[in-house]
Chains A and B, each alone.
Chain A
Amino acid sequence: MASHTPPLLGSAPAQPWRSSISGVSRVTRRGRIVLKTAVWVGALAPLGWLLYRTATDRLGANPIDEITDRLGDWTLRLLLVSLTMTPLRLLFDLSWPVTLRRLLGLFAFFYASLHLSVWMVLDHFFDWPTMGADVVKRPYITVGMTALLLLIPLAVTSTTGMIRRLGARAWRRLHRLVYLAAIAAVLHYLWLAKVGVLDPYWYAAALVVLLGVRGWDVARRAVRRRRGRSVPGVSSPATP
């Protein structure tokens, strides 16, 4: 059973009936360093660009809104990219994307934290009563805050040590919270966007596809289990 393997630490379990494919997709140590470096560069580039625009006064007439919106964009994008890694394994039997999942998730949390900080510090300048009222009264802020709160336990337990301590199965169950966080994050954007802005619908569509692949995988396994046929390679439960 694949669930005995800590899910994020490397290659998919050996699958004799398609060993050639798994052989290709297994990541070497060097490959992993290259991939992770690419994620670091790719995930920090938008922040670098934003800082550059800030330093050179290229944020337009409403810099605070611009910073808030762009940080929000990249939170959602990274969250959705992190949720794309498992479908790549399920659909194409690639194991390397899963090794990037935690890192991508942490960067999503990083951008979410910046997004919230800008809202608290630059936008409202520590006006706690107003912010508190917004969290309670404005559904888009309520779900946005919910998304961020749901990501906190995931970020805290993101280390390899925590996976060991919790056990792979419990860890994986906990990290399914990311589905809720992503749904809340997409709702946050859907509910705040003005008429005619289509971006949030694209994010919603992407999320439906990404969760749909997992649903399809769960259903596929259930059907096979009912038929009493044990099929290697499709026995591991869908993971974040």
Chain B
Amino acid sequence: MLIRKAPRFKSSEITDERVYLDRRTFMAGTAALVLGGGEALAATPPAPLAPLKAARSEAFSVKEPATKEESATTYNNFYEFGVNKEDPSRLAHTLRTRPWTVKVEGLVGKPKTFDIDELIRLFPLEERVYALRCVEAWSMIIPWIGFPLASLLKRVEPTSQAKFVEFTTLQDPEQFPGQKPGLFGMSSLDWPYIEGLRLDEALHPLTLLTVGMYGRMLPNQNGAPVRVVIPWKYGFKSAKSIVRIRVVADQPKTAWEKASPQEYGFYSNVNPNVSHPRWSQATERRIGEFRRRNTPMFNGYADQVASLYTGLDLKKFY
């Protein structure tokens, strides 16, 4: 006798593979909703960043493989979001980068406030693969997209008294949770974040006003919508989320100088021969590599920038 067993479920009941694979996302989303309430909605992963087209400038690029993008966007020092390296990527959604303006002012003939989208279209964008050396003795290779800061500065016409350029990062504790006063009203840094360069450093062709990386717009945790990148200096010199660029006569007092002047000087050029007071700068760990490597003078850009510092005692002006 033939016994026909009816199937216990219809094929239409089989979960679609895509839905099946999505179950973690669903669970994570549900958990986030339960735990975080309304805030969880804002914490859902942001839409992928818009692609940004730019031709690579080989003359300004190092010939080393780029660091994994995931590393460059999850291992960040950006005190505005918090002091831990995972804070910026975790809290990046709190920053709103539109609308955004950058005020360029000070000792210039034509001060102007630029809308960010206007700024991005102002000059041809190029991709440059730079070495990034953190003062904490680790490094990355990052394909940035931007244009030379010199182009912008020339457009606003610095006057003859102009000696320095000062960068100011957005100050808004609502968008930058790291700027909220902590325990006993303590603050990690004196906000807003101020950085600065000598005018000749700011006009150097390597100094890049940066709006993208890895072929896309800058992620918030990397300093969106606009930052500066100065590859021969320790990373903290490269101010992020800039709202003001001021051309001045006196050397700006930078955030890290205020916090710890004996450790973080105005120049902060990458220099293997001048130790941080607490650790050696002779070697670095390239993110993604196992063994330490030697740190080159000026982070490998000595040929291009050493002439800026002829006659300057780099031990004194660290």
A interface with B by C-beta (< 8 Å):
60-62, 64-65, 122-125, 127, 130, 133-134, 137-140, 191-192, 194-198
List, sorted by A's number, 8 A–B pairs whose CB atoms are closer than 8 Å: A61-B85, A61-B288, A64-B285, A65-B285, A123-B292, A127-B292, A130-B280, A139-B278
* Other-chain residue from B72, B83, B85, B278 in contact with A60 (beta carbon distance below 8 A): B85
Bound form: Cα–Cα A61–B287 in Å: 6
Q: Which residue of A lies closest to B188 (CB)?
A: A196
The CA-CA distance from A194 to B79 in the complex, in Å, is 11
Q: How far is the CB of B232 from the nearest CB of chain A, in Å? A: 22
Beyond A138-B279, A194-B136, A196-B79, list 4 extra A-B contacts (CB 8 Å).
A62-B138, A130-B282, A134-B280, A196-B188
B182, A198: Cβ atoms closer than 8 Å: yes
List B residues 245-304 near A (Cβ within 8 Å): 256, 259-260, 275, 278-280, 282-283, 285, 287-288, 290-292
The interface size of chain B toward A, counting residues with CB under 8 Å, comes to 34
Interface members, chain B 149-177 (any A CB < 8 Å): none
Q: Which residue from A61, A122, A127 sits with its C-beta under 8 Å from B74?
A: A61
Taking a contact as CB atoms closer than 8 A, the residue among A62, A124, A194, A195 that contacts B75 in the complex is A62
B42 CB to closest chain A CB, in angstroms?
24
Interchain CA distance A191-B84 in the complex, whole Å: 17
Interface contact A196-B83, CB-CB below 8 Å: yes
> Which residue numbers of B lie inside 8 Å of A, CB to CB?
68, 70-72, 74-75, 79, 83-86, 136, 138, 182-183, 186-189, 256, 259-260, 275, 278-280, 282-283, 285, 287-288, 290-292
Question: Are A62 and B285 also in contact (CB < 8 A) when A195-B188, A195-B189, A196-B79 are?
Answer: yes
Chain A residues whose C-beta falls within 8 Å of the C-beta of B83 in the assembled complex: 194-197
User: Nearest A residue to B67 by beta-carbon distance?
Assistant: A61
